Structure 1
């Protein structure tokens, strides 16, 4: 009988060791699966963040391009206005040569100042309208990216 008890005890210990080994293997496998799942989620999040960053940079470049084109257009408008003003000043200088009285000079001067001021106001208005348009156009891609980024970060992370 003692051998039977030893055999039974050995069998019980072997069964317990086998069960412990099986439980440990299951635990290791479960941890490995969770680690792989977390790693995949992390890589996906990184890829999403990289794509988001690229789109944000693209929006900044697009906005910068719009500002540069607007500045170029404003520069052309200022150059054209300066050229037109210079031509008007040269014509006014020639007209001054033909003035024969003080009254004609005063009338000419008043008309010239009024015309010059009206042209300046009109040109300033055109430049202001261009500035507002360029600013609105340049902000549009940035605003769209801010909204998209806020929406992206507002979404709960899928488990």
Structure 2
């Protein structure tokens, strides 16, 4: 082989090697770009999911706080209603005692005592009904924010995860 042929063959081999390297470099660059794109999509989806989860948790905590506030206000109102009833019962009892002290006959005492007991039972039943209704109302009102958050959670859980 002559020197000129060797030089031409070497140039041809070098060109083939350079072309192969260029093709390999282009393939690697495309693979890196595709991987980078997929990683960015996955990262965006993960961060979006984290933001949604953080918002969901914040809204859930807000609902729990609202429910607790409604419950505590309702229990406070029920306590006030109970103590108002108790105070009224004591005052009625004191008035009945004074009336009995001023009674002239045993029949008058029995009549006062009978009226006191009848009124006490009627008032106790009425107050018990009132307190029961208050309890149901407070329970329903305090459960409302939690029911709304439950509905949101079920809705979110039913949606497919988007990447």
Q: Which TM-score band (shorter chain)?
A: over 0.9
Matched, 1:5 2:9: yes
Matched, 1:68 2:79: no
Residue-by-residue CA offset, 1:97-129 (whole Å, 9 max, x unaligned): 122333333333222111101100100000000
In 1, Cα distance between the equivalents of 2:113 and 2:97? 11
Correspondence for 1:55: 59
Q: Which moved more, 1:5-14 or 1:82-91?
A: 5-14
In 1, Cα distance between the equivalents of 2:90 and 2:115? 17
Correspondence for 2:102: 98
Residue 40 (structure 2) aligned to one of 36, 39, 48: 36
Aligned residues: 159
Residue 138 (structure 2) aligned to one of 115, 134, 139: 134
Residue-by-residue CA offset, 1:26-45 (whole Å, 9 max, x unaligned): 11111111111111111111
Matched, 1:148 2:149: no
Aligned runs of 1:102-117 on 2, under 5 Å?
102-117=106-121
In 2, Cα distance between the equivalents of 1:156 and 1:33? 22
Q: Which moved more, 1:139-148 or 1:99-108?
A: 99-108
CA shift at 1:139, angstroms? 0.4
Structure 1 alignment gaps of length 5 or more: none
Please state whether the residue corresponding to 1:71 is helix, strand or coil.
helix
Task: Say what the alpha-carbon RMSD is for the aligned residues.
Answer: 1.2
TM-score, normalised on structure 2? 0.92
In 2, Cα distance between the equivalents of 1:158 and 1:93? 76
8 Å CA contact 2:100–2:108 kept in 1: the answer is no
Correspondence for 2:22: 18
CA shift at 1:10, angstroms? 1.6
